[in-house]
Structure 1
Amino acid sequence: MKLSAGASLIADGAQVLAGGSLIDHCTIDTSAGKIIAINPLLAEISPQELALRAEPIQYRLDRGTLVAGFIDTQVNGGGGVMFNHAPTLATLRCMMQAHCQFGTTAMLPTVITDDIETMQAAANAVAEAIRTQEPGIVGIHFEGPHLSMAKRGCHPPAHLRPITEGEFQIYLRQDLGVRLITVAPEAVTPAQIRQLVASGAIVSLGHSNAKADEVRAAIDAGATGFTHLYNGMSAMTSREPGMVGTALISDNTYCGIILDGQHVHPISAQVAWRVKGTAHLMLVTDAMSPVGTDQTEFAFFDGKVIRDGMTLRDPYGSLAGSVLDMASAVNYAVNILDLGLAAAVEMASLTPASFIHLPQIGDISIGKQADFVWLDDDLSVLAVWVAGQLCYRAAPLDW
């Protein structure tokens, strides 16, 4: 089912979160995957009256809240597959299908530290997805291999390395959509960061033991993000702010944060929100293959990762990504951090859209892409649309 020309979402019992405000009783009209009108619903419309309308499809939202689609900039896997293990278009489709049911309408498939052949294959798969306009795939995130050995986490040490011409040839490609590259400031030079940024790539800092001066130099060179704040980075102390302190105090940078109850203490998360604000703190999952499945372990390079509840650990005891989904992250921000639905949704939609320079997504407003998540009153996902196409449904939608 698609939102074709003239189709309408009719919120006769649901609220719509648009531009940070809740709207009661309205219709959202879409055409060719874009929002073309948002109008008040002045009176209850009967099924008979709807039948006389020209629109071929109407979706009725009788409860809950309609919000903008969630954007996840760090997705390693889902649906039982890992992008590193099988860097193909089929894997991207499987990952998107797994995460769509939790409200993700756009993602950056993420390649963690690996050999250059895997990186090339991943880039080729994403380039094909961009060429064919695969729903939800908007680019690629290379998390490594230019990271700190001291803060590598689960990244395989055998593949950590400086940037070579081979990696630059991948990073500078112009057929990959959004290009996000996580590096450690001590593993690259400011000149290399400037070269990446000049090409249109977005540079994020992470898995680093850098001191504040090194981090500031990377920001001055054009880095604008921090990968999973607090995790895999030098801590803030009284005499050395480290990466954490520098990330928090840098006004124009964005910080991803993993709200799964395992990676970050609630108080630390609240501190980050109070300092960075909703506009610069964004929700990410760092999701691995078990998301959307009952998988309890999976192969990971020369070992395996074991799931224990909401925790994933490698054989050395390091946290190895997460089993978090975006709907659960929003729920955590609302119910554990008490940030309110509008702030939580903004951190899951508009903030990441701003970070990766995609103004056409991230909010419900005229001219934006028709990416929607219909949430029940308990914040469970009832339905999801990507570019106007219904991709997941857990509740009746038709009159």
Structure 2
Amino acid sequence: MSRTVKAYIGATIYDGQNLFEKHALMVGSDGQVSVQPQGALPQGCPRVAMDGGVIAPGFVDLQVNGGGGVMFNDDQSINALRSIAEAHATTGTCAILPTLITDTPEKTSAAIKAVEAAIAEKLPGIIGIHLEGPHLSIARKGAHDPNLIRAMTEDDLALMLDAAERIANVMVTVAPENTTLAQIKTMADAGIIVSLGHTDADLETCHAAFDAGARCVTHLFNAMSQLGNREPGLVGATLSRPEVYAGLIADAIHVHPDTMRIALAAKPKSERIFLVTDAMATAGSAIDRFSINGRDVFRKNQRLTLADGTLAGADLTMPRAVEVMMEAVGDDLSQAIKRATSTPVDLLREPGSLGGFSGMFPAVQYLKKGSSRPVVLS
């Protein structure tokens, strides 16, 4: 390691895999870090005493619709991506999949090109793209515009495959009602993260989609067929498949804490449930309203809703989601942070060094209970 410039002590340390007590985070002059027992610090090493809290890797969010007053659906440009990424960096998220919700083919193509250009410029925080729609179910549309929802065509599939050749991490949310099993298999074989969401499909159909290559579920419990006594739906299929990952909006609004707790108890490999913010333009911003496809969304009481009360994304930060998982759901510290760091990274085709202390800016952060603004340490 390079010459150490300081050692952070007095906080619990989580490095992406392990939890350390009574250890120090050693930060080198080149920004490299390591964890050492506090009693083994070099003599004369400058120390920074932290008042409890936790030192952790930067968060990774695979569902980010906007931030900093900007919606990706409104502006598919590098400048928009920069504003969104910078807004999420202020809340401790170092890497995002900018997410385009259901829109026109022209905007879908523009979004792919913008992300490709941002990655080519090495824009901090942009690691790929998430296309949430338009191949969804109108029956479970949520805040998506039903006029733009449609079946996947061969041209749509070709666009996805081309994107996967040029962008390492491409995630696509689809409903089996508007996507064939052959299309799901083709996308999965090309390295695309196929996620089921906004679907009313039954258990058998969902299992078939997983068998075809779908590996994930978008915002578990929300906008999908529910667990019933005779028909388990997508929720039941997800909880019964150990290999399937699932994003979770842990704001205690989209999903009740007891429901989250039951899901963790029911699912084999429950560590594959990871946190997403489903953030909108409000993230990192004081705005109280914005629009999606010409429809107003209102921010009030930590909720984002359309005029009819339909939830439209979440007014949530990753630190708050981690806090909810610990205090309301029952996760321990390491598991809650893992759901926002190394677990989503496991889904990526090219994770690089994300999820641990050698990740992208901000690689290491300091969090205290109740704070939505972590302090970047390196």
| Residue of structure 2 in register with 1:21 after alignment | 19
User: How far apart are 1:373 and its partner, in Å?
Assistant: 2.0
Q: Report the AA paired with residue 62 of structure 1.
A: M
Find 1:253's aligned residue among 244, 248, 269: 244
SS at match of 2:126: coil
TM-score with structure 1 setting the length:
0.87
Matched, 1:350 2:342: yes
| Residue of structure 1 in register with 2:317 after alignment | 325
Find 1:282's aligned residue among 271, 274, 277: 274
User: How far apart are 1:32 and its partner, in Å?
Assistant: 6.4
Asked if structure 2 preserves the Cα contact closer than 8 Å seen for 1:203 and 1:225, the reply is yes
CA distance in 1, matches of 2:359, 2:96: 17
CA distance 1:9–1:214, change in 2 (3 Å): farther
1:80-107 CA deviation, whole Å, 9 max, x = no partner? 1100100111111111111111111111
CA distance in 1, matches of 2:28, 2:194: 34
Asked if structure 2 preserves the Cα contact closer than 8 Å seen for 1:373 and 1:381, the reply is no
In percent, how many aligned pairs have the same letter?
Answer: 37
| Residue of structure 1 in register with 2:306 after alignment | 314
My pick for the range that moved more, 299-308 or 72-81, is 299-308
Asked if structure 2 preserves the Cα contact closer than 8 Å seen for 1:113 and 1:156, the reply is yes
Find 1:360's aligned residue among 353, 357, 363: 353
CA distance 1:134–1:157, change in 2 (3 Å): same
| Residue of structure 1 in register with 2:141 after alignment | 152
Asked if structure 2 preserves the Cα contact closer than 8 Å seen for 1:333 and 1:344, the reply is yes
My pick for the range that moved more, 276-285 or 254-263, is 276-285
CA distance 1:10–1:314, change in 2 (3 Å): same
My pick for the range that moved more, 13-22 or 182-191, is 13-22
CA distance in 2, matches of 1:9, 1:116: 51
CA distance in 2, matches of 1:338, 1:345: 13
CA distance in 1, matches of 2:130, 2:196: 12
CA distance in 2, matches of 1:59, 1:218: 53
Find 1:99's aligned residue among 84, 88, 93: 88
Note the 1:83-232 alignment, pairs <5 A: 83-172=72-161, 173=163, 174-232=165-223
Count of residues paired in the alignment = 371
Q: Report the AA paired with residue 171 of structure 1.
A: M
Asked if structure 2 preserves the Cα contact closer than 8 Å seen for 1:12 and 1:60, the reply is yes
User: How far apart are 1:175 and its partner, in Å?
Assistant: 2.0
My pick for the range that moved more, 215-224 or 17-26, is 17-26
Runs of at least 5 residues in structure 2 that lack an aligned partner in the other structure: none
SS at match of 1:158: coil
Asked if structure 1 preserves the Cα contact closer than 8 Å seen for 2:2 and 2:29, the reply is yes
CA distance in 1, matches of 2:231, 2:199: 14
Matched, 1:60 2:51: no
CA distance in 1, matches of 2:47, 2:207: 49
Note the 1:45-84 alignment, pairs <5 A: 49-50=44-45, 60=48, 62-63=50-51, 64-84=53-73
| Residue of structure 2 in register with 1:241 after alignment | 232
CA distance in 2, matches of 1:30, 1:278: 36
Q: Report the AA paired with residue 50 of structure 2.
A: D
| Residue of structure 2 in register with 1:10 after alignment | 7
CA distance in 2, matches of 1:312, 1:379: 21
CA distance 1:74–1:271, change in 2 (3 Å): same
| Residue of structure 2 in register with 1:296 after alignment | 288
My pick for the range that moved more, 98-107 or 143-152, is 98-107
Q: Report the AA paired with residue 66 of structure 1.
A: I
Asked if structure 1 preserves the Cα contact closer than 8 Å seen for 2:63 and 2:278, the reply is yes
Runs of at least 5 residues in structure 1 that lack an aligned partner in the other structure: 51-57, 391-399
CA distance in 2, matches of 1:255, 1:75: 15
My pick for the range that moved more, 224-233 or 14-23, is 14-23
Asked if structure 2 preserves the Cα contact closer than 8 Å seen for 1:146 and 1:163, the reply is yes
CA distance 1:125–1:30, change in 2 (3 Å): farther
CA distance in 2, matches of 1:273, 1:328: 19
